[in-house]
Amino acid sequence: MKNVNKIRLLKLFFVLAIAACKKDDPDPAPAPAPIPGPACYATKIDVVDDIDVPTVWKACTVYVVSVNQISVKSTLTIEPGAIVKFKENVFDNAIQVSASGKIYAVGNASNPVIFTSYKDDSRGGDSNGDGNATSPARFDWGGIIINSNTCEFRYCHFYYGGEGPSPGAAQPSLEFSMFYGTVDHCTFAYCGGDTTYNGYGVVDARSSENPNLVITNCTFYGNIKPLFLNPHNSLDNSNVFHNPANPSEKNRLNGVFMTSTSNEATTNVSWLETEVPFVLTGSTFVGDGLKLTLAENVIIKVALLPATGFNKLSIKEGSSFIEGYNLPGVFFTSYRDDAHGGDTNGDGNATSAAPGDWYGVQDISSTLSTNNSCYPWPNILYAVYP
């Protein structure tokens, strides 16, 4: 009886199967074929001409700057995942953005825009086709020079830049020359900068007196000097000055350097970075009616200058002021003071701080009658006054 039932079930199965496969029925949909992934970085494009018309550098493509310098005279948009490499066989190989040009290099966390050496096989493959014969190093290429406002660099990675116009010279990997823009969530690693207190930084905006310059959420490590700004520029506490994967890997001159300027700021300024000190490379003035705001644990160091009296921070009593000068952890001290803010001048134990290393915090209205019009705050260290 069981065998009979099995036979009946088999017959029913074949009848249903034949009915399902009648010629007037549509064919069943085939299983979807796998979608092939993009052949990222198989395309390599040599860049030898200026950018004169709106141009897009595409994702999954390696662009190789093969000449001394290209000029961006129109709008250059660089997509997430694009890689820009610079050949090492020319000095000062760079991108210069003219007054009529713009760069919008906007990546994302998963696909940053990368600027690196032609020898860098780990990013975009072995573009120079030499296997392991060469490897990338600091100063392999020059930098990007901005001569217009509102350029944007978001989620960009800069590696091995900083070569200057002649052997042994340095230049910024990203320079804002009297202009402003936005640099956000970018990484600068193994780039140059100068070893002197007044030399170039990897990101250098010393000539930009515009308060609209924005540098936020960036990471600096393995560089010589990471950042050189103008006293007109504010800086928050969102940037990182070490390798997140290896906190002991920092920068040789690990500080935010501020240039000297005779032009007083026209807006309030905030210096809030606490991981590394701010380093004044000359006299700095807080303008009439304005304030410089500091956060807890901000350290301001002042470089030693050949001429006495030019390495000071100046305010006008009753008009301009430093808000937060007396907060916990705030110090005004010598560039050689390793006990506060670390070995900012990068010389190990070769030098040490001493009284008279810098001038002091001075009231240039001469309202104060003592200490040559300098403030007697207890957190002023190694100055002539007090």
| Residue 248 predicted with pLDDT over 80 | yes
Assess contact for 335 and 279: CB atoms under 8 A: yes
Model pLDDT, residue 122: 95
Amino acid 318: pLDDT: 85
Q: Tell me the pLDDT of the chain averaged across its residues.
A: 88
Q: Which residue has the higher pLDDT, 17 or 345?
A: 345
Q: Each residue of 193-219: pLDDT tens digit? A: 999 999 999 999 999 999 999 999 999
Per-residue pLDDT, averaged over 88-99, amounts to: 81
Q: How many CB atoms lie within 10 A of CB 121?
A: 18
**pLDDT above 60 for 301:** yes
Q: What are the tens digits of pLDDT across the range 169-190?
A: 789 999 998 899 999 999 999 9
H or E element that contains 72: strand 69-72
% of the chain with per-residue pLDDT over 90: 72
Cα 31 to Cα 20, 24, 28, 36, distances in angstroms: 18, 21, 9, 15
Collapsed DSSP state (helix, strand, coil) of residue 379: coil
> CA 99 from chain center: how many Å?
22
Residue 165 has pLDDT above 60, yes or no: yes
Q: What is the pTM of this model?
A: 0.88
Per-residue model confidence as pLDDT tens digits over 16-75: 333 343 333 333 333 333 333 345 888 999 999 999 999 999 999 999 999 989 999 999
Mean pLDDT, residues 271-291:
93
- Give whole-number Cα distances, 349 to 211, 339, 344, 357, in Å: 37, 11, 11, 16
Please state, as a whole number, how many other Cβ atoms lie within 10 Å of the Cβ of residue 355: 9
CA dihedral angle for residue 63, residue 64, residue 69, residue 72, rounded to 10 degrees: -10
Give pairs for 348-357: CB < 8 Å, separation 24+. Answer: 353/381, 353/382, 354/382, 355/382, 355/383, 355/384, 356/382, 356/383, 356/384, 357/302, 357/304, 357/382, 357/383
Say whether pLDDT at 131 is over 90. yes
Quote the pLDDT of residue 93: 77
How many residues in total does the chain contain?
386
Contacts of 293 (CB under 8 A, 6+ apart): 268, 269, 270, 271, 272, 322, 323, 324
**Residue 106 pLDDT > 80:** yes
User: Helix (H, G, I), strand (E, B), or coil: what is residue 362?
Assistant: strand
Task: Identify whether the C-beta of residue 79 lies closer than 8 Å to the C-beta of residue 52.
Answer: no
Q: Which residue has the higher pLDDT, 304 or 165?
A: 304
Q: What's phi and psi for 20, nearest 5 deg?
A: -75, -15
3-state percent helix, strand, coil for the chain, nearest multiple of 5: 5, 30, 65
Whether the Cβ atoms of residue 299 and residue 271 lie closer than 8 Å to each other: no
Helix (H, G, I), strand (E, B) or coil at 373: helix
When mean pLDDT is compared across 6-15, 74-83, 160-169, 289-298, the lowest value belongs to: 6-15
Only one residue has tokens 């705050």, namely 377
What's the whole-number mean pLDDT along residues 250-269? 88
pLDDT tens by residue, 42-58: 899 999 999 999 999 99
Sheet holding 269-271, edge to edge: 269-271, 291-294, 321-323
Please report, as a single letter, which amino acid is at residue 185: H
The C-alpha torsion from 235 through 290 and 308 to 385, rounded to 10°, is -100
Distance CA 174, CA 206 (A): 12
Question: Average pLDDT in the 142-162 region?
Answer: 96
User: Would you list the DSSP string of 171-229?
Assistant: --SEEESS--EEEES-EEES----SSTTS--SEE-TT---TT-EEES-EEES-SS-EEE
Identify the residue whose tokens are 């026209």: 266
